[in-house]
Amino acid sequence: MNISVQKKAIVMAMSLGLLAGCSTTGETTDEDMQGTEVAVGDQQDASTVYGGDDQGGVSSSGLTDAEREQARKAAEQAAEAAKRDITVFYFDFDTSEIQPEIRDVLVAHGQFLAANPGQAVRLEGHADERGTKEYNLALGERRAKAVERFLIVNGVSRGQIETVSYGEEKPAVMGSGSSTWAKNRRVELIYK
C-alpha cells in the first residue's frame, strides 16, 4: 500500500512541475518590446506600410478624407477590372442555369457595358460532345441567351450583345471524360 501512495505522490509532484513549467501566458509587455524597431508607445492611430530598402512607407495619417475616398474608389475599380478579366463562364451538364459563383463577374461586365454603350460583345455558347449536334447547338444557344438576359437585367442594351452557338463544334479541350466535358460546357464573352 505504501508503494501505491508513493507512486501517487510522485505522479502528483510531476504534474505540478509540468503545470509550473507551462505557467507563462505568452503575453508581450512594453518592457519586452524595448529595443525592438517599433515599441508599443510609439504607435499612433494611423497605420504605415513599409516596403523596400529605403524604409520609406505610405502612411494613412497624411491622407485627407477626399484622398482616402479616391483611393477606395480606385481599389473598387481595380477589383471590377480584375473581374472583367474572367470571360469564360462554365455550366453544369445539360443546363443553361448561371452558376451563383459567376454572377458577380457578370455584374461587373454588365456595369462596364452599361457605362460604355459603344462597346459591344459576342457571347459564344458551347456544349460538350455528348448529345446530338442539333441538341448541342440548341443548348449552346440557351446558355448564350441566359448570359445575355443576365447582362440586360444589369443594364446592358440589347444592341450591344450578339449571341452565337457553336454547340460541340469548338471544344476548348479535346478528349472525353468529366473534366474535359466540364471545360467545354461554357459561354465565352468576347469584347469587339
Q: CATH number for the domain including 176? A: 3.30.1330.60
| Interval 15-73: pLDDT, tens | 555 555 555 555 555 554 444 444 444 444 444 444 555 555 555 566 788 888 888 88
Q: 112 by DSSP, 3-state: which?
A: helix
pTM of the model: 0.62
Sign of CA dihedral 137, 120, 117, 150: positive
Convert the pLDDT of each residue in 75-130 to its tens digit. 877 777 777 789 999 999 999 999 999 999 999 999 999 999 999 999 999 999 99
Q: Is residue 179 part of a domain?
A: yes
The partner residues of 50 in beta bridges, in order of sequence, read 57
Write out pLDDT tens, residues 142-179. 999 999 999 999 999 999 999 999 999 999 999 999 99
Asked if residue 55 is part of any domain, the answer here is no
Position 3 in a domain: no
If one counts the domains in the chain, the total is 1
Question: Is the CB of residue 113 less than 8 Å from the CB of residue 119?
Answer: yes
Beta-bridge partner residues of 180: none
Q: Is residue 31 part of a domain?
A: no
